[in-house]
Amino acid sequence: MENCKITFYNIDRFGYYRRGHDNPEFGDLAEILDDLREWAFQPDMKLGQTCTYEVSDKSERVSYRTFCFDLVRDASSNTYLLTTWNESPSSQGKVASVRGLDPVGNPEVNLTKIPEDYIPGYATYFWFVPNKDTFATLQFQHNFNGRQSLEVYLRSYLATFSKHVASQTIIDSDSINILGYQKTSSHEVCQDLYPQFNSKPYQRVGQYDYIRNNSQEIRQVIRKDTLRHSVQQNRELWQRLIQTIGISDHSPPNEEFEHRFKFTVNHTPSAQELDEIIRFWNEKEHDSKWDDIGFKLRGEEKIHWLSYSLARNDFPLNVRRVNDEIVDARSLLKQLLEHQEKIFSLLDTYAESSTLH
């Protein structure tokens, strides 16, 4: 029995859209997932070939590659369990680790060689429920849920590899020229369509309504976040923060080092500012229970956290592990379906949702 943190997301847009239109011309979620499974499991396809995007300094929101590790479907419920493998940083074919018991300034760094043709990383899991236009991130031992990488992965798949892509191979080159997109091979190729996949956290609206209805009573805004030194902007912010307490120079022992912090601002946000805060929260990838935004109202000591508006909870699941990193996809999907009534209750509008816990 293992604890699984499940967080639901609404699928806002999925498929091929004309600019300015809210409905796709074509592109059904279940159809595309079946297409992805057929593409990933085609003969001679290797895991290392299943990344759908190029990583560069200009890559959108992701710095490392994502691969299809496994994809299984339950026919009776028409739900899918996608396992992705997320590449983690390495240094010249080695993974660095530091001894936590060593003193700051002189820790021992261990460099473990990565076997040839292996990709260092970690697994993330996604449960797609097409008839509800939703999916859930499933977290076991990792803080990262992989949602942002998933969006880039599927959007790039739609753009480059799906069966709706009309393309031609450039002679004497490995490049492929995308001509446009078509519903089927017998339909006209459209050059003005744009592949999209966007999601947002499933909102238990009553929670947000309470905060909005009492916005003029807000006296403090509290922010909790995690700074990760694998992100350049986080490193720069950390350096500025520690300088405010008199530490002029401090470098983390390695780029995976993390710092939790919390700060409070005495402020009553306008209605527009509050909407911007909530929009920022909805667009952020919520990896950790620590990360949160809260509000204190006049006359109250209780903090009203935005995390309570998420359709998220922990569930014990009797899954089978392949090893310490990988959960067997079929056993996981089977457990999700066995407990689906309780899990899907997260999507219900509870009576107590009108007030924050």
Query: Has residue 115 been placed in a domain?
Result: yes
Tokens of 28: 């059904």
45 and 133 both lie in a single domain: yes
- DSSP calls for 66-121: EEEEEEEEETTTTEEEEEEEEE---BTTEEEEE-TTSPTTS--EEEEEPPTT---E
Selection from 76, 123, 84 nearest residue 338 by Cα: 76
- In a shared domain, residues 195 and 248: no
Residues 137 and 6: beta-carbon distance below 8 Å: yes
Read off the pLDDT band of 355 (50, 70, 90).
very low
Q: How far apart are CA 80 and CA 33, in angstroms?
A: 8
Instruction: Collect contacts of 25-31 with beta carbons under 8 A, ≥24 apart.
Output: 25/183, 25/190, 25/193, 26/164, 26/183, 27/158, 27/164, 27/195, 28/130, 29/128, 29/130, 29/133, 30/78, 30/80, 30/130
Q: Give pLDDT, residue 229.
A: 56
Residues 145 and 185 in one domain: yes
Whether residue 336 contacts residue 327, with contact meaning beta carbons closer than 8 Å, is answered with no
Mean pLDDT of the chain: 85
Number of independent structural domains in the chain: 2
Map tokens 């892509």 to a residue: 165
Q: Encoding tokens for residue 235?
A: 């490193």
Shared domain for 161 and 286, answered yes or no, is: no
User: Do 46 and 69 reside in the same domain of the chain?
Assistant: yes
Q: Is the pLDDT reported for residue 78 higher than 50? A: yes
**Lookup: tokens for 133:** 């236009």
Terminal-to-terminal C-alpha distance of the chain: 28
Residue 262 domain-assigned? yes
Q: Is residue 355 part of a domain?
A: no
What is the mean predicted confidence (pLDDT) over 179-196? Answer: 93
Q: Are residues 266 and 301 in the same domain?
A: yes
With respect to residue 354, please indicate whether it lies within any of the assigned structural domains: no
Question: Based on the domain organization, do 211 and 183 belong to the same domain?
Answer: no
| One domain, residues 324 and 284 | no
pLDDT for the residue 55: 87
**Do 232 and 163 belong to one domain?**
no
- For residue 271, being part of any structural domain is answered with yes
127 and 22 in a common domain = yes
204-229 pLDDT, tens digit per residue, is 666 678 888 999 999 999 998 877 65
Residue 356 in any domain: the answer is: no
Spatial distance between the Cα atoms of 35 and 40, rounded to a whole number of angstroms = 9
Residue pLDDT, tens place only, 47-62: 999 999 988 755 556 7
Residue 306 vs residue 133, higher pLDDT = 133
Residue 13 lies in a domain: yes
Query: How many residues appear in the chain?
Result: 357
| Model pLDDT, residue 299 | 87
Residue 90's pLDDT band, with cuts at 50, 70 and 90, is: confident
Helices 29-40 and 147-160 meet at what angle, rounded to 10?
80
pLDDT higher for 24 or 231? 24
In this predicted structure, the answer to whether residue 322 has a pLDDT above a threshold of 50 is: yes
What is the extent of the structural domain holding 304?
205-309
**295 & 326 share domain:** no
Interatomic CA distance for residues 105 and 164, integer angstroms: 55
Q: Are residues 58 and 106 in the same domain?
A: yes
What's the pLDDT tens digit per position in 122-139? 999 999 999 999 999 999
Q: Is residue 130 part of a domain?
A: yes
DSSP for residue 303? E
Residue 158 CB: number of other CB atoms within 10 A? 24
Rounded to whole angstroms, the Cα distance separating 193 from 326 reads: 37
